[in-house]
Structure 1
Amino acid sequence: MLQTAEAQSQSEYTRQISDRLQIALTTHLQHAYSPDQIKTLRLFSSTETADLMSVTPAFLRKCHADGSLSEPSVNRNGRRFYSGEEIWTMRQILEAGSRKPGKYRPGRRDKDHLQVFQFMNFKGGSAKSTSAIHLCHYLALQGYRVLAVDLDPQSSLTGFCGLNPELEFDGQSVYDAMRYEDPVPMRDCIQNTYFPGLDLAPARLILSEFEIDTAVASQIDTPFYTRLIEALEQVEDDYDVVVIDSPPSLGYLTMAGLFSATSIIVPLTPSMLDVASTQQFLQMMSDYIEAFEQQDIELTFDDFSFLITRDDPNDIPSQQISGLMRALFHQQVLSATTLRSTAVADAAMLKCSIFEINRSDITRSTYDRARASMDAFGSEVAGMIQKNWGRG
C-alpha cells in the first residue's frame, strides 16, 4: 500500500511511486522476454527471405542445390527457415560473387560518406522512436550496416534493441563517449544486438547529465556540438548508416545530434496541435542555427523531410492536415506514411518492430497493411541514401 503524501515527505512519496513502478516494469519485462532476458530474432520463411534479398525462392533452392549457399539450420517438413545471421551471411556470399556491386550488400563504397539520419521533434507521441527502430530494422534486413544511437535519456530506442535500462545492463553508454572528462572510446560504448547488421550506442538515464555538464563546461576547448561528431568519427568505417533518436526537446543533446546528422527526419502526426507544436520547434531550431551561423559555424543537410506518422486513411481531418503539409512542402514530405495500426502498437508493447512479428501471429490483413507501410517508408529512405551516394 502507498502511504499518503501527508504521512511522509514529498520526495519519499514520489520515490515510493517510482519504486512501485519499477517493480511493475521489471515484472512485465521478465514476462515479455525469455528467462535470461535476451531478445532473439524470429526465423524467416524461404519466401520472405527471397523477398528480402530481391531474388526468387527458386534461385535460393538452386544455390542450396549447387552448394553455393549452405542449407539453413532449420528445415520443417521440407520447408526452409532462415535466421537473421544466415540471411546476413548469404548476402555476403552472393555479393562476393555478383557482377553488379551492391546487389546484395547496398552499403557504402569508396568515397561514399556515412549517412547519419536524425529523428527529431519536441512533440511527445510523434512516433519518433518507433519510426527510428523500424528504419533501423528495415535497413539491416536489406544488408546495410546500421548503428542506432540513442540520445534520449528515456532510452526507448535502447529498449527496442533488446537492452533494458529499467533492469540495468553492463557496459558503457553513449554518454560515456560524449562526456567532457575522460571520454571512453566510442567503440567501447557500442553494443551488438540480436538483430544482424544492427549495433547500438545505448542510452541510460545518466545521459541527461550531458545537459548539465554542458551548461557548466562552457569554457572547455571542445564545444558540445562536436562531441557526437568526434565519437562517430572513431567508428565511421564500420557502418553505412547511423540512425539517431533524439529526446523530445531542443537541448544540447538534440543539437549535438543535429551537428552530426547528414539528414533530418521530423515525424509528425497529422493533427493541428502537432503541426502547431512542430512549427514552434522549427522556429526555435532556426533561431539556434542562425546563432551558430553568425559565428561562421555552418550546418548543411543532404535531406530535410517530414514523415507523416500514425496515418489513418479513414480519418478525414487528419487527411486534410496531411494534404496541407504536402501542399506546403511538396517533396519535403515523404511519400510513404506510417499507418496507425494495432499491429505496430501491439509490437511496441513488447518493444518489437513489425519486422519481428510473425504474420501468422495476428490478423494477416492487419499485419500486411502495417508491414507494407513500414516497407514503403524504409524503401523511400533507402532510395534517399543511394541518391546521396550518387546512385539514385
Structure 2
Amino acid sequence: MEQPKAPGAATLETISHLVTTADGIIGSMRDVADDRVAETGPRRYRLTEAAQLVGRSVDAIRRAEAAGDLPKPTLRSSGQRAGYSLAEVNRMRDHFGTRPQRAPDDPPVILAVQNFKGGVGKSTISAHAAQYFAEKGYRVLIVDTDSQASTTTLFGFNPDVDIETETTLLPYLIADRSDGIGYAVRPTRWDGLDLIPANLGLYSAEYILSQQVKGDVSRLSRLKTGLLEAAASYDIVVIDPPPALGMISLSVLQAASAILIPTPPSSIDFASTAAYLAMLEEVVEALNTQTQSPVEYSFVTLLATKVVEQKGAHEVMRDVMGRAFSGSILPTALLDSAEFDTASVEMRTVFEASGGQSRTARRCRNNLLAVMGDLERKVRETWPSHRTKLRAEGIA
C-alpha cells in the first residue's frame, strides 16, 4: 500500500523546479556579467601602470612608440591615450626583453591549490593566482578538475550551459581520448592565460576511474602525463582540484609538482589541514610504492586564508601557524573581504570586478598582490635561471 506523502514533501517535480530556478538565476548573473564586459571591455592599463608592469620608464615606451618599434597608442576622441590592453603590455615586454618567463631548461611549475575541506577559498585562490601570473607576463594554464566548476564560473562561464562535458578532462581521464589534453584548452579574456574548464559531468570520472584503477593503478598517472605534455607551452599550470579525496584528487596529487594548502585560522580548519597533511603523507607513500611515476614536490606550503584582522582568535591561530610552519607558510595572510563575494556575483575576480577604486577594493587588491608576490617567489625559486636574479633582487 502506497504511503501518503507528508505535507510539503519534496517530490521529483519539486527538485526539478528548483534546478530550473537555479539555472535561471545563474543565467541572469551571466547576462549581467556579459553586459559589464561589453560596457567596459578587458582591463586597460594607464601608461604609468604599463611602464611598471613592463619594467621600463614611461619615456622609454614613448620613444619606442615614436620610433615605430612599438605600435602607436590607441587614442580617445579627446586625444588622450585610451590605455593599453594586457596583450599590448606583453608586446612591450617582448620588445624590451622583460618577460619573466622560465628558461627552456627550467621545469614548468604544476601547482595544485588543495585542501580536502570545502570553503577554504581554494577556487578563489586558484583563479586569482592564475590571473596574477598572467598579468605579470607568465604563460599560464589553469585547470579546473572540480565538478562544482567554481573556477570555470569565475572566468565567466555557466559550466552546465556553456561547457560540453566532452570538452572537460573527462574523456582523457577515462581513456576515451589518447591524443593529449590539448582538445580541452581554451583561451580566456586574459592574454597568455588559458583554461581547461569543468562541469558537473566531470564527476562521473570518479566512478569510472575507480573501476579502472582496480585493475591498473597506472591509470592515476594519465593526468600527470597529459599535464606534463601541455605544460611545455607554459610557465605555470594551476590546478583547482575537488575538495575531497577521490580518484581525481589522487590524480592531481601525482600530477602536481608543488602544492599550496589554503587554511583558515580556526581550530576546526587547522585540524582539517592536519588531517590533510597526514593523508598526503600516506597517499604519496602509496603512489611511490604502487606506480612507476614517483611523486616529488618542489614545495608544499600553507596559506592562511579568510583572516579577519583584529579578531583575537584569528590572530592567535595565525601566530601559532606562523611559528609552527615558519618556512612552509606564506608570510602574508589572505584577508577576508566582501570584495570576493561582490566580484563573484559578477562572475569575475577581484582583479576584474567593477568598483575597484573604493578603499575596500584597493585594500583587498593590495593584500592579494602581496600574497601572490609571496607565491611568485616560491615559484621562481624552483627555476635555476631565476635564482641568481632573486639573489640580485635581495629576495633569495
1:349-388 to structure 2, matched below 5 A, reads 349-357=345-353, 361-388=355-382
1:159-207 Cα distance to aligned partner (Å, 9 max, x none): 1223221422356112222222334531111011111010011111111
Cα distance change, pair 365–37 in 1 and its aligned pair in 2 (3 A): closer
1:236-281 Cα distance to aligned partner (Å, 9 max, x none): 3211110000111111111111111111000111111111121222
1:182-201 to structure 2, matched below 5 A, reads 182-183=177-178, 185-201=180-196
2:253 is aligned with what amino acid?
Answer: L
Cα distance change, pair 326–230 in 1 and its aligned pair in 2 (3 A): same
CA drift of 1:128 comes to 0.7
1: distance between equivalents of 2:58 and 2:305?
A: 33
CA contact (8 A) 1:133 1:157 kept: yes
Aligned equivalent of 2:228, options 204, 210, 233: 233
CA contact (8 A) 2:322 2:329 kept: yes
1:114-153 to structure 2, matched below 5 A, reads 114-153=108-147
CA drift of 1:365 comes to 2.2
SS at match of 1:71: coil
CA contact (8 A) 2:113 2:241 kept: yes
CA drift of 1:6 comes to 5.3
CA contact (8 A) 1:130 1:348 kept: no
2: distance between equivalents of 1:190 and 1:219?
A: 29
TM-score (norm 1): 0.89
1:326-369 Cα distance to aligned partner (Å, 9 max, x none): 111101010122221222331122122222135xx245322221
Which residue matches 2:51?
50
User: Which structure 1 segments of 5+ residues have no match?
Assistant: 96-103
1:333-352 to structure 2, matched below 5 A, reads 333-352=329-348
Cα distance change, pair 310–205 in 1 and its aligned pair in 2 (3 A): same
Cα distance change, pair 165–295 in 1 and its aligned pair in 2 (3 A): closer
SS at match of 2:73: coil
Cα distance change, pair 289–37 in 1 and its aligned pair in 2 (3 A): farther
CA drift of 1:210 comes to 1.1
Which residue matches 1:299?
295
CA drift of 1:291 comes to 2.5
1:51-70 to structure 2, matched below 5 A, reads 51-70=52-71
1: distance between equivalents of 2:53 and 2:145?
A: 30
CA contact (8 A) 1:117 1:243 kept: yes
1: distance between equivalents of 2:52 and 2:277?
A: 39
TM-score (norm 2): 0.88
Which residue matches 1:157?
151
1:170-209 to structure 2, matched below 5 A, reads 172-183=167-178, 185-209=180-204
CA contact (8 A) 2:30 2:157 kept: no
CA drift of 1:325 comes to 0.5
Which residue matches 1:101?
none
Q: Which moved more, 1:255-264 or 1:65-74?
A: 65-74
Which residue matches 2:391?
none
CA drift of 1:67 comes to 2.4
Cα distance change, pair 352–296 in 1 and its aligned pair in 2 (3 A): closer
Aligned equivalent of 1:83, options 82, 85, 110: 85
Which residue matches 1:272?
267
Which residue matches 1:98?
none
1: distance between equivalents of 2:53 and 2:280?
A: 38
Please tell me whether residue 112 in structure 1 is matched to residue 106 in structure 2. yes
SS at match of 1:287: helix
Which residue matches 2:240?
245
Q: Which moved more, 1:253-262 or 1:226-235?
A: 226-235
2:296 is aligned with what amino acid?
Answer: T
CA contact (8 A) 1:46 1:80 kept: no
Q: Percent identity, aligned pairs only?
A: 27
CA contact (8 A) 2:160 2:199 kept: no
How big is the alpha-carbon RMSD for the aligned residues of Structure 1 and Structure 2? 2.4
2: distance between equivalents of 1:139 and 1:347?
A: 19
Cα distance change, pair 357–62 in 1 and its aligned pair in 2 (3 A): farther
1: distance between equivalents of 2:304 and 2:201?
A: 31
CA contact (8 A) 1:224 1:252 kept: no
User: Which structure 2 segments of 5+ residues have no match?
Assistant: 388-396
Where does structure 1 differ by over 4 angstroms across 4 or more consecutive aligned residues?
4-9, 35-40, 219-222
Cα distance change, pair 232–252 in 1 and its aligned pair in 2 (3 A): same
SS at match of 1:243: strand
SS at match of 1:210: helix
Q: Which moved more, 1:135-144 or 1:108-117?
A: 108-117
Please tell me whether residue 167 in structure 1 is matched to residue 169 in structure 2. no
2: distance between equivalents of 1:28 and 1:293?
A: 45
Which residue matches 2:390?
none
CA contact (8 A) 1:74 1:82 kept: no
Which residue matches 2:327?
331
CA drift of 1:374 comes to 1.3
1:264-316 Cα distance to aligned partner (Å, 9 max, x none): 00011111111112122222222222333443763211010001112222212
Cα distance change, pair 109–259 in 1 and its aligned pair in 2 (3 A): same
